[in-house]
Structures are given as structure tokens and as C-alpha cells.
Amino acid sequence: MASENFQTTGCSIQGDDNAALSFTLDSVDTAVRHSLGQVRRHLVRCGIADDLCGTVEIALAEALNNVVEHAHASGTHGSIRVEIAQIGAGIHCEIHDAGSPLPGLALPQGMRPPLNVPRADLPEGGFGWYMIRSLTQDLHYSRSRGMNRLGFTVRASSA
């Protein structure tokens, strides 16, 4: 199993039940899977509704897998820093990595691939950014000093 550095701030509930969590993981698929389970358990322990936990998990999985598969696609493994906080009725996620930048330094459009084609012509992929855009609000990306920063919020009403 890959070396994993998973450190949480714990369930720091302050006044408005803010479920703060921060951790660093290796940019490999096994670390992403492990971290997603840890995030879900943490949010559940902090009293976050199960449907919101599931939506956060899906959006975070798509975003983290994009970092592993594309930002660090050159075979170099780096680390990914994730910060999660409850903001009102939603969960805000920030992802930081030193991998390759997004093409054009901009978020992909995330258009849904066509599904009205013969079964043999259905795409195997291409749904990630569409899913992220569909499940989140306040989606933003920036790159500064060699670091990518992707942020988004999942609101309870979109879960």
C-alpha cells in the first residue's frame, strides 16, 4: 500500500457545528480511496446528513482523481492538500497540489457527453467535470507560485 499521510484536525465543532478537516495525501489512487472513506466517516461523526456526505464524497472523488490522473500524469507523484469546512448548510472543499496546471489555466466546461448514440459508441469517460459542475456551487480554480487551487461548495439542497 502507498505511503499515506492522513492527518485530520478532528471534529472541531464551534458554535455553528463547523466540521473542519484538513489532510495531506499522496497523489495515488489508493490514497484517494482511503482518504474518501476517512472524509465520509469524519463528516458523519460531525452530524452531517448522509445525503450531503455522499454528494461531497462524489465531488471530491472526481476532483482528486483528476489531480492523480492529469495533474500528476507524468509519473511523478506529489502530494495533495485538502481542506474541508462546513459553511452554513454546505460543505466547502479546497484542494491544493503542485501538479501540472489545467489547460489554459481555466476550468473545463464540463459538458455532458452525448448519450443518444448507439451503445457501442457510448463514452467510457468524460463525465467528471460535468458531475463536479452539477453537484457543486462556487467552483473556482487558480494557479499561483506553481500550485493549483480548486475550490467548491456542496450545499445541502443540491445533495
Inter-residue contact 83 to 22 (CB < 8 Å):
yes
In a domain, 14, yes or no: no
Over residues 56-80, the mean pLDDT reads 89
Closest CA to 63 of 146, 145, 159, 140: 140
| Residue 90: domain span | 21-158
In a domain, 15, yes or no: no
Q: In this model, does residue 4 exceed pLDDT 50?
A: no
> What CATH code is carried by the domain that includes residue 79?
3.30.565.10
In a domain, 11, yes or no: no
Q: How many domains does the chain have?
A: 1
In a domain, 12, yes or no: no
Q: How confident is the model at residue 120 (pLDDT cuts 50, 70, 90)?
A: confident
Cα(154)–Cα(159) distance, integer angstroms: 7
In a domain, 3, yes or no: no
In a domain, 7, yes or no: no
More confident residue, 94 or 157: 94
Q: In this model, does residue 8 exceed pLDDT 70?
A: no
Over residues 24-51, the mean pLDDT reads 91
In a domain, 74, yes or no: yes
- For the chain, percent of residues with pLDDT exceeding 90: 55
